[in-house]
Amino acid sequence: MKHAVGFILRALGAGLLVLVPIYLACLLLLKALGSVAGLVRPIAKLLPHTIPAESLLSLLFVLLICMLVGVAIKTRPGQAVRNQLERTFFERIPGYAMLRNLTQQIAGKSRGNVWKPALFQSDEGLLPAFIIEKFDDGRYTIFVPSIPTPFAGAVYVIEAARVHPLDIPFTQALNTVSRWGSGAKDLVAAMEKANPTPSPSLPAPSGETSSNG
Question: What tens digit of pLDDT does each residue of 113-134 get?
Answer: 568 899 999 988 999 999 988 9
Q: Which amino acid is at 9?
A: L
Question: What tens digit of pLDDT does each residue of 141-165 get?
Answer: 999 988 877 778 899 999 999 999 9
Whether 37 shows a pLDDT value over 90: the answer reads: no
Whether 201 shows a pLDDT value over 50: the answer reads: no
Clarify whether residues 83 and 141 are in a common domain.
no
Clarify whether residues 84 and 150 are in a common domain.
no
Beta-carbon contacts of 67 under 8 Å, excluding residues fewer than 6 positions away, are: none
Q: What is the mean pLDDT of the chain?
A: 78
Whether 200 shows a pLDDT value over 50: the answer reads: no
- In the chain, the number of structural domains is 2
What pLDDT sits at residue 92? 66
Clarify whether residues 29 and 63 are in a common domain.
yes
Q: Which domain holds residue 160?
A: 116-194
Clarify whether residues 159 and 87 are in a common domain.
no
For residue 101, count CB atoms less than 10 angstroms from its CB and return exposed for 0-12, middle for 13-18, buried for 19 or more.
Answer: middle
* Better-scored residue on pLDDT, 17 or 140: 140
Is residue 212, in this structure, part of any structural domain at all? no
First to last CA, the chain: 68
Question: What tens digit of pLDDT does each residue of 85-117 get?
Answer: 777 776 666 556 666 666 665 555 555 556 889
Cα distance between residue 117 and residue 126, in whole Å: 13
Clarify whether residues 142 and 84 are in a common domain.
no
Q: How does DSSP assign 138-169, residue by residue?
A: S-EEEEEEPSS-TT-EEEEEE-GGGEEE--S-
Clarify whether residues 49 and 121 are in a common domain.
no
Cα distance between residue 190 and residue 125, in whole Å: 16
Is residue 144, in this structure, part of any structural domain at all? yes
Cα distance between residue 70 and residue 163, in whole Å: 39
Cα distance between residue 134 and residue 160, in whole Å: 9
Is residue 18, in this structure, part of any structural domain at all? yes
Clarify whether residues 6 and 71 are in a common domain.
yes
Is residue 106, in this structure, part of any structural domain at all? no
Is residue 67, in this structure, part of any structural domain at all? yes
Cα distance between residue 141 and residue 54, in whole Å: 52
Clarify whether residues 127 and 67 are in a common domain.
no
Is residue 148, in this structure, part of any structural domain at all? yes
Which residue intervals of 73-163 are DSSP H helices?
76-88, 96-106
Sheet order of strands, 163-165 included: 153-158, 140-145, 126-134, 116-121, 163-165
Q: Domain containing 124 — which CATH number?
A: 2.30.30
Clarify whether residues 151 and 83 are in a common domain.
no
Residue closest to 116 by CA, chosen among 161, 150, 159, 166: 166
Whether 184 contacts 128, CB under 8 Å: yes
Residue closest to 150 by CA, chosen among 169, 172, 135, 167: 172
Clarify whether residues 74 and 150 are in a common domain.
no
What pLDDT sits at residue 113? 54
Clarify whether residues 21 and 88 are in a common domain.
yes
What interhelical angle do 53-72 and 2-44 show, nearest 10? 110
Clarify whether residues 79 and 131 are in a common domain.
no
Whether 190 shows a pLDDT value over 70: the answer reads: yes
Is residue 15, in this structure, part of any structural domain at all? yes
Cα distance between residue 33 and residue 27, in whole Å: 10
Is residue 211, in this structure, part of any structural domain at all? no
